[in-house]
Chain A
Amino acid sequence: MAKDTKDKPGTIEVKSFGTHHVITQPNPLRKVLLRVPESDLDDPVGRAEKALAGLSGEFKEWMTIEADRLSAAHATVQREGFNDKTREELFRAAHDIKGDAATFGYPSAAAAAESLCRIIEHAPDLATVPQQLIAHHINAVQAIVRNRTKLDTAVVAGVLSKQLRGIADEFLTHANRDRPEHLEAILAPSIVPGE
């Protein structure tokens, strides 16, 4: 049975057990929680979405910067080969696009970048990854970003990203056939809800 330690109100309460302590603190953020009537019209989420839409005029430029950073990281890899530094920068550039591109209105670029991240993270030896496979991912991101204004490119970009992911997954599944922990990670679906 747990023993309680309770001092005066407002202090932390600790219940101690054999293997652990459960620490309950007074909610220090309670003061910012306001009860409002159901009729309250304030819509902070709607306001934030409008503000985000207000930034959208800059997204094309931001996405171009991100894509160029990825190409520069790839050019360094081609020049110097894979080492800790070049691998890290290529991964970081791809990972940023994976996270940002959908917000900027380029979901297919995010998908292509995610596929590249998986290659970098799970390939047993990056030196043995076909260089064309990596190059195709870089080129796909650039093409999606540069050609977004054309009307028919959204569908093409989606198909392109999907095909790249299929080829990358096929390569990774084969390359990791004797590495079950990687195989599990490659085949597992994302468990994190976006919202």
Chain B
Amino acid sequence: MYRIDFNKLRFLICDDNPHMRRILRTLLHSFGAREVYEAEDGATALEMYTHYVPDIVITDWSMPIFDGLELAQMIRQPESKGNPYAPIIMLTGHSEKRRVTVARDAGVTEFLAKPISAKGLYQRIMNVVANPRPFIKTKTYFGPDRRRNTTNTYIGPERRGSGEVEILQQPSLLEKARSAI
């Protein structure tokens, strides 16, 4: 059996609603987290992301200035100075299929529909900590592997192809994190 040492995790939560921020903060502190940073809009969150280098980002979708979707897209810039690999959990009242697909395509790691529950949040955090997915980079996408299943039987138009090999050099996560501070 595994459990998470929340004491060593640094969270950034981003929600324009102060009541939801309070609830999130309460839940994370109860799990054992000590470092929880808060932003009330996407722009502030991006600044804090660069400054504090959080391990996990929890963001709402609908927010002023720029929203949670744009925040995810800005974090998922492979050439950026900050860490583009941090898990992003989108906590939102949007739960339609179209929205989930759009969030997934923006590089969101996990999706959690409101109303929030302690169990749901804990499970999403456990998932990103214990089962990180590889990242995929294509011409139009950079983010966690959008395939949850490993079946090889899918032959639809969105199947990734194989072919000529290109080499992509990546600096280590640690270097990226350090250079962002």
Please list the residues of chain A having a beta carbon within 8 angstroms of any beta carbon in chain B: 1-3, 5, 10-12, 14, 16-29, 31-38, 40, 42, 44-45, 47-52, 54-55, 62, 65-66, 91-92, 95-96, 98-104, 110, 114, 117, 185, 188, 190-195
Contacts and interface: CB of A to CB of B under 8 A. Distances in A.
A29 B56 CA distance: 9
Contacts of A48: 26-27, 30-31, 118, 121-122
Interface in B50-68: 55-56, 62
B148 interface: no
Interface of B: 1-6, 8-9, 16-17, 19-20, 22-23, 26-27, 29-32, 55-56, 62, 85, 87, 92-98, 100, 111-123, 128-130, 132, 134-139, 145, 160-174
19 contacts: A5-B168, A14-B167, A14-B168, A19-B160, A21-B166, A21-B168, A22-B145, A23-B136, A25-B85, A28-B85, A38-B1, A48-B118, A55-B22, A66-B19, A98-B93, A110-B115, A191-B95, A192-B112, A194-B115
B161 A18 contact: yes
A18 B56 CA distance: 31
A35 B1 contact: yes
Contacts of A191: 95-97, 100
A29 B30 contact: no
Nearest to B116: A103
B15 to A, nearest CB: 9
A17 B118 contact: no
A36 B2 contact: yes
A20 B95 contact: no
A25 to B, nearest CB: 6
Contacts of B137: 20-21, 23
B147 to A, nearest CB: 11
A100 B2 contact: no
A42 B31 CA distance: 10
B99 to A, nearest CB: 8
Given A2-B165, A37-B1, A100-B20, A20 B128 contact: no
A95 B4 contact: no
A74 to B, nearest CB: 18
Given A19-B138, A188-B97, A194-B120, A27 B132 contact: yes
Contact of B166 (A16, A23, A27, A192): A16
Given A29-B132, A32-B9, A44-B32, A195 B117 contact: yes
B118 A49 contact: yes
Given A23-B134, A96-B93, A193-B113, A52 B26 contact: yes
A12 B93 CA distance: 35
A20 B173 contact: no
B9 A29 contact: yes
B62 A18 contact: no
